[in-house]
Amino acid sequence: MARPLTIRGLEIPNRIWMSPMCQYSAGRDGVPTNWHMVHYISRAIGGSGIVMVESTAIGPRHRTTAGDLGIWNGQQVEAHFKLSADIRGAGAVAAIQLQSAGRKSSHQVPWLGGGQNSPIAMDEGGWTPMAPSAKRFGNLMVPAEMTVRDIDEVVEDFAHAASNAHEAGYDVVEIHAAHGYLLHQFLSPISNHRVDDYGGSMENRMRLPLRVARAVRDTFPQHKPVFVRMTATDWIDGGITLDEASVFARSLAAAGIDLLDVTSGALSIDAPPPNRQALNVEFAQTLRAESGVPVAPVGQLSDPALVGTVLEQSTVDAVMVGRALLRDPYFALRLLGDGSKAQWPRQYHRAL
């Protein structure tokens, strides 16, 4: 678990990585704030091999809330440059997740109003979400069905965001194709009812996510890795199954994607994933065997002993840790260290 992993020449110091977690703490300009600086750098000091900055919008209408980070303009790039440099300076690889929220756009930040399932009113700055089909998520607004021009723009916006991420100093970008956001909405027959080249067969439903994967891979420098966060199953009859996920994983391999960050669920409000520890580890092993691409599962990997067992006894390459890292920024350091004073930053030695 303390072994480094090298992808495209990038050495990642260990196998315990910070999962992207939206902080809803940017202003309407989408620029990182002091909150982001302190939050991410603490996890880098805390030993996470990769610090993955939260889902960051590729354009204003792609945000989930008005407090999301963005990476579509120069002002944002400048602030991200400082954030990525400080993450790296504290010893971690700096990564960023690129996001389009689709029908899950324009909702309140979780601690305001009705929370994540409550739309922002139009007269309070809300905007109309767009999606493969005009099928709403929960109580959120009914989205506008995307035109082919909208689809082409999404590809362009992802590529532009990847180019900005490079300029902003990130070592890795991750495309968010899971948790019921736009690219997942295209993949799943539950949310995609289109009858054109982007709906129907799996080949058609994968068309936009694969166009995005290829465009990002072409744009982001060849010596830097591109990850995809993908779903292994929708946990719904008629939704994506592990077989379809395997087809997608093999196609991502052909597109040159370097790592699959494996998760599941969150496409429909009526189908929560099971409450089970390490629930995506077996899926990740299958997708690795099917595609030949390295994998990092996420989800309920918060018990240190379990994380150790998963990394030592299963065929996954790393793990993504979410909520455990919100509770304890030093989660990775405690797990990787030998309990000695030397594992802690020198600045803290007088406390030990």
Give the residue numbers marked as catalytic. Answer: 181
93-99 and 69-70 strand pairing = unpaired
Using CB under 6 A as the binding criterion, the count of chain residues that bind ligand FMN stands at 20
279 touches ligand FMN by CB under 6 A? no
Which listed residue (7, 22, 57, 311) binds ligand FMN by CB under 6 A?
Answer: 22
70 touches ligand FMN by CB under 6 A? no
Which listed residue (7, 21, 31, 92) binds ligand FMN by CB under 6 A?
Answer: 21
Cβ closest to ligand FMN, residue 147 vs residue 277: 277
Q: Which of 19-27, 188-196, 212-220, 338-346 is the region at the interface with ligand FMN (rule: CB under 6 A)?
A: 19-27
Residue type, 228: V
62 touches ligand FMN by CB under 6 A? no
Residue type, 131: A
Cβ closest to ligand FMN, residue 33 vs residue 302: 302
Closest by Cα among 85, 17, 5, 30 to 258? 5
Residue 91 DSSP one-character state = T
Q: Residues 231 to 270: which contact ligand FMN by CB under 6 A?
A: 263
Cβ closest to ligand FMN, residue 141 vs residue 321: 321
CB atoms within 10 A of CB 283: 23
Q: Residues 156 to 185: which contact ligand FMN by CB under 6 A?
A: 176, 179
What are the distances in angstroms from CA 306 to CA 26, 109, 176, 278, 303?
34, 32, 26, 8, 5
C-alpha–C-alpha distance, residues 221 and 80, integer Å? 18
301 touches ligand FMN by CB under 6 A? yes
What are the distances in angstroms from CA 52 to CA 155, 171, 275, 342?
22, 10, 24, 26
Cβ closest to ligand FMN, residue 23 vs residue 164: 23
Placement of tokens 């030695």 in the chain: 349
Taking the CA atoms of 54, 117, 319 and 34 in sequence, report the sign of the dihedral they define.
positive
14 touches ligand FMN by CB under 6 A? no
Q: Which of 18-26, 112-120, 233-241, 304-312 is the region at the interface with ligand FMN (rule: CB under 6 A)?
A: 18-26
Instruction: Give the binding site for ligand FMN (CB under 6 A).
Output: 19-22, 54-55, 97, 176, 179, 229, 263, 298-302, 321-324
